Chain A
Amino acid sequence: MRLSKPVVSWLYVAPLVLVLIPFFVVPIVVVLIASVFDTDGFGGLIPTFTLSNYLNVFTSTLTFNLYYETIKFTVLTWIFTLLLGFFIAYYLVFHVKNQLLAIGLFLLCTVPFWTSNIIRMISWIPLLGKEGLINTALIKIGLIHEPLGFLLYSSFAVVVAYVHQLTIFMIVPIFNSMVRIDKRVIEAAVDAGASRFDILRLIVIPLSKSGIALGTIFVVAIVMGDFFVTKVMSGGGSASVVGAFYEDIGVLQYPGAAASAVVLTVILMTSVALILRTVDIRKEITS
């Protein structure tokens, strides 16, 4: 049997479409519609068209504080995951001569992922707590007399947990673009008299740009879309954008939560678009 060309093309994309429509397009549309509805205050939606939910989001100083807080965590997490991810990938690609060892070490980086997110986060508590490992050790060796309070239930703890969770998302794409750098290109740079730092600055970083961009998208999207880590690790001391509309939902304020969600989605999509403008991501995925 011969099928015409467009039919064949549609058949190829059909599985993806069948997944995307019910699990992505429909929920987004539902949220979009809910964001312009009114609420009766008891969880019911009144079908109208109103922009008051958006008005509330944009006029509330709370929104700006929430974004400030979330963006602060995003930027800090991004900086630390980027530094760690870049240099771990750099070490694996350029300094581990034995390829088998490099792959082994690479797999080692994924070990934290063998347990659940929540367990990984909670396992920081015995380490960072007031009577945790670090405080006890520091007191025992006499460096401090009182336990350090900022270690747990603080912004510090939030960033630590995020970095722990998300560094792998930097390592993988950066590793991926670094292994594709021709070793002879590095050698040619050495031949031209480039120092190790010159090679890093002029060759490795520019050629890992797409990996850095991909990793950045993962980290930024995950941190901005998360509230759980912030909530648990800050001990409730820090709020986040998603945390706020999670609470809206808790008090049945669906339209307000929907409007916040739409705003966040737009902001995230804009950031991703801006990141993608700096690199040719297609090259990274296809070649």
Chain B
Amino acid sequence: MAIQRGAIELAGLTKSYDGVTPVVQGVNLKIPDGAYCCFLGPSGCGKTTILRMIAGHEDPTDGEILIGGENVVGLPPVERGTAMMFQSYALFPHLSVRDNIAFALRVRGQDKAERYRLTDAMIEKVRLTELRDRLPGQLSGGQQQRVALARAAITEPRVLLLDEPLSALDEQLRIQMRSELRRMQRELGITFIHVTHSQLEAIALADIVVVMEKGQIKQSGAARDVYAAPKDRYVAEFLGGQNVFSGRVGTVNGDRIVLQASEMKQVAIPLCGARVKQGDAIDVAVRRDDINLLRPGATLAGDTSSLASRVMGIEYQGNFVKVMLDPVGSDEFVAYVPERTFFHDPLDIGDVVMAAWPADHARLLA
């Protein structure tokens, strides 16, 4: 099968500004054509640098970038068929919406009539027709974002690169623009690479989530895989929704091990093919929404792990209730209880509870 035009492959991609400390170190990744890919990580993890290297605004120190099967390192952005949407948009402040969007066509020497015909069609697509003669300074954040998107998409790139596209917007607008981005991506049918530090944004949008730390990929995969099956403590904590406990392997019996930690009774963990031996330090993740809170003395269903704890805090979240429990060692311990379940028998701060979860649902982390 021929390699599709918008497929991206990063091979051993490395970047260092001073030759000593690498910002990006040996990143390998394949992104299929037409995928929505999110790079997720805290600031300074190298995700924007990777984006800028794909865009051609930064040269890698080492490694290859293949777009559509062709090594593009050293080529200018235009020849790569990429377009970038910059953080805080970087719109041309002295040009109208229309001329901003038409800019790329103008420098390609397209004549005015044809240029404006294509531009107006794009303006229509991002619903800015009434605003097309305004200057960027006269637009709201969401409108500016749409101009930036249209400006990047006008050249029909095979890859669109978005650097924190939603970070300049307020919460409500962010959610709205988020679905608009996804809609545009489906309509254009091209590869989107989106850099963000918000896990909510990443899992809501992406076909592929790439979690990064200190210039390296920690885990990449479908949003659901990364969220529900994090590989290690870093990924689990960054994506949230998990309780991570550390301890030692007590005993190994068959496909289960028993976790031993100072403040915990023995808890059984499925092994899932991992190889550990007695005494190894391990991390275990249990989803916060897998945890059932029971009054002491209630009977547990079969094959359930449980932990005696106490309610330290309660936060109402609308569709669920966040119950903060007594921390296990230094690890936060939180349960997400469905709203109806919680108010059927409301708990109070200080109540002693049994936190129970199906034993199979605990996961051993790397």
Q: Are A189 and B103 in contact (CB under 8 A)?
A: yes
Cα A184 to Cα B55 in complex, Å, equals 13
Q: With both chains docked as a complex, state the minimum distance between the C-beta of B307 and any C-beta of chain A, in angstroms.
A: 50
**Chain A interface size, under 10 / 10 to 19 / 20 to 34 / 35 or more:** 10 to 19
B274 contacts which chain A residues (CB < 8 A)?
A: none
B93 contacts which chain A residues (CB < 8 A)?
A: 185, 207
Question: Does B57 reach chain A (CB closer than 8 Å)?
Answer: yes
Question: Does B84 reach chain A (CB closer than 8 Å)?
Answer: yes
Question: Does B88 reach chain A (CB closer than 8 Å)?
Answer: yes
Interface-facing stretch out of A46-54, A154-162, A195-203: A195-203
Q: Are B107 and A192 in contact (CB under 8 A)?
A: yes
Complex interface bits, B53-87 against A, C-beta within 8 A gives 1, otherwise 0? 00101000000000000000000111000111011
Q: Are B90 and A202 in contact (CB under 8 A)?
A: no
Q: With both chains docked as a complex, state the minimum distance between the C-beta of B121 and any C-beta of chain A, in angstroms.
A: 18
B186 contacts which chain A residues (CB < 8 A)?
A: none
Q: Are A191 and B92 in contact (CB under 8 A)?
A: no
Cα A189 to Cα B108 in complex, Å, equals 12
B106 contacts which chain A residues (CB < 8 A)?
A: 202
- Are A187 and B57 CB-contacts (below 8 A) given A194-B103, A207-B94? yes
Question: Does A190 reach chain B (CB closer than 8 Å)?
Answer: yes
A188 contacts which chain B residues (CB < 8 A)?
A: 84, 86, 90-92, 151
Q: With both chains docked as a complex, state the minimum distance between the C-beta of B144 and any C-beta of chain A, in angstroms.
A: 13
Question: Does B104 reach chain A (CB closer than 8 Å)?
Answer: yes
- Are A187 and B90 CB-contacts (below 8 A) given A192-B151, A192-B155, A193-B155? yes
Complex interface bits, B182-214 against A, C-beta within 8 A gives 1, otherwise 0? 000000000000000000000000000000000
Cα A1 to Cα B87 in complex, Å, equals 50
Q: With both chains docked as a complex, state the minimum distance between the C-beta of A43 and any C-beta of chain B, in angstroms.
A: 55
A40 contacts which chain B residues (CB < 8 A)?
A: none
Q: Are B107 and A191 in contact (CB under 8 A)?
A: no
B-contacting residues, A157-212, CB 8 Å = 182, 184-185, 187-195, 198, 202-203, 206-207
A207 contacts which chain B residues (CB < 8 A)?
A: 93-94
Looking at the complex, which one of B87, B92, B104, B107 makes contact with A185 (CB distance below 8 Å)? B92
- Are A202 and B77 CB-contacts (below 8 A) given A188-B86, A188-B90, A193-B155? no
Q: Are B90 and A192 in contact (CB under 8 A)?
A: no
Q: Are A190 and B76 in contact (CB under 8 A)?
A: yes
Cα A166 to Cα B309 in complex, Å, equals 79
Q: Are A184 and B88 in contact (CB under 8 A)?
A: yes
Cα A198 to Cα B196 in complex, Å, equals 32
CB-nearest residue of chain A to B79: A193
B83 contacts which chain A residues (CB < 8 A)?
A: 191-192
B88 contacts which chain A residues (CB < 8 A)?
A: 184
Q: Are B90 and A182 in contact (CB under 8 A)?
A: yes
Complex interface bits, B248-280 against A, C-beta within 8 A gives 1, otherwise 0? 000000000000000000000000000000000
Cα A194 to Cα B152 in complex, Å, equals 13
- Are A189 and B92 CB-contacts (below 8 A) given A202-B103, A202-B107? yes
- Are A191 and B94 CB-contacts (below 8 A) given A184-B86, A184-B88, A202-B107? no
Besides the known contacts A188-B92, A193-B78, A194-B107, 10 further A-B residue pairs in the complex with CB atoms under 8 A apart: A184-B87, A184-B88, A185-B93, A187-B84, A190-B76, A192-B104, A193-B76, A193-B107, A193-B155, A194-B103
What are 18 A-B pairs with beta-carbon distances under 8 A?
A182-B90, A184-B90, A185-B90, A187-B84, A187-B86, A188-B86, A191-B55, A191-B57, A191-B82, A191-B83, A192-B78, A192-B104, A193-B77, A193-B107, A193-B155, A194-B103, A203-B92, A207-B93
Q: Top 5 A-B pairs ranked by shortest CB distance?
A: A192-B104, A184-B90, A193-B78, A194-B107, A188-B90
